């Protein structure tokens, strides 16, 4: 008798291939708790590989609010991975499920740091004034980076 045991390795392969049909057929909520040697759970892979449909399936089926903010061994949440790898649709999906845009890695790197990496034009637009703070704003449809200019909103740039 052959059993249909689905392993974390199987799920990771499906996520990397962006095979939503196989994922839907094989996903079980108990897999959300599993992690690889670096602490990456399936949702970390879905965020890093830019797969918003799989992120939705994981969060809808599990309905566990901690999953979208689960950290790996270096403090990366799925949202930070989506920002690091510039996977904007995955980023929007995670924000729609309540992911924390203020989370930081164990090294102190945050969402805005990853978005600005390698984007000197965007960085120069947002960091023009030295006494300003940059934060993320989500309106349920679009993601904005906002530079707060001492007491009032200054520059607001649509990210996605």
pLDDT (tens digit per residue) in 5-61? 788 999 999 999 999 999 999 988 888 888 999 999 999 999 999 999 999 998 886
Residue pair 46/94 in contact by the 8 Å Cβ criterion? no
Q: Within a domain: residue 91?
A: yes
Q: Within a domain: residue 119?
A: yes
- The residue-averaged pLDDT of 112-116 equals 85
Q: What is the CATH number of the domain that holds 128?
A: 1.25.40.20
Would the CA dihedral through 141, 109, 67, 51 be positive or negative? positive
Q: Within a domain: residue 21?
A: yes
Q: Within a domain: residue 1?
A: no
Q: Within a domain: residue 3?
A: no
DSSP state at residue 113: H
pLDDT (tens digit per residue) in 130-155? 456 777 777 777 777 777 766 555 66
Give the range of the structural domain holding residue 56, as residue numbers without chain letter.
8-158
Q: How many independent structural domains does the chain possess?
A: 1
DSSP state at residue 103: -
Q: Within a domain: residue 50?
A: yes
Q: Within a domain: residue 2?
A: no
SS (H, E, C) 19-66: CHHHHHHHCCHHHHHCCCCCCCCHHHHHHHCCCHHHHHHHHHHHCCCC
Judged by DSSP in three states, 133 sits in strand
Angle at 111 between CA 109 and CA 116, to 5 degrees: 90
Q: Within a domain: residue 83?
A: yes
CA within 13 Å, CB half, 92 = 13
- The residue-averaged pLDDT of 119-124 equals 68
Spatial distance between the Cα atoms of 143 and 160, rounded to a whole number of angstroms: 5
């Amino acid at each position: 008798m052959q059993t249909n045991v689905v392993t974390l390795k199987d799920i990771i392969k499906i996520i990397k291939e962006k095979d939503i049909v196989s994922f839907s057929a094989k996903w079980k909520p108990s897999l959300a708790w599993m992690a690889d040697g670096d602490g990456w759970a399936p949702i970390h892979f879905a965020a890093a590989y830019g797969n918003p449909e799989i992120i939705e399936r994981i969060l809808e089926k599990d309905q566990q609010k901690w999953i979208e903010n689960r950290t790996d061994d270096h403090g990366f949440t799925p949202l930070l991975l989506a920002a690091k790898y510039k996977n904007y649709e995955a980023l929007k999906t995670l924000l729609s499920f309540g992911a924390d845009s203020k989370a930081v890695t164990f090294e102190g790197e945050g969402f805005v740091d990853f978005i600005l990496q390698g984007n000197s034009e965007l960085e120069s637009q947002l960091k023009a004034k030295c006494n300003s703070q940059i934060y993320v704003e989500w309106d349920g449809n679009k993601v904005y980076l906002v530079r707060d200019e001492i007491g009032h909103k200054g520059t607001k740039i649509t990210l996605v």
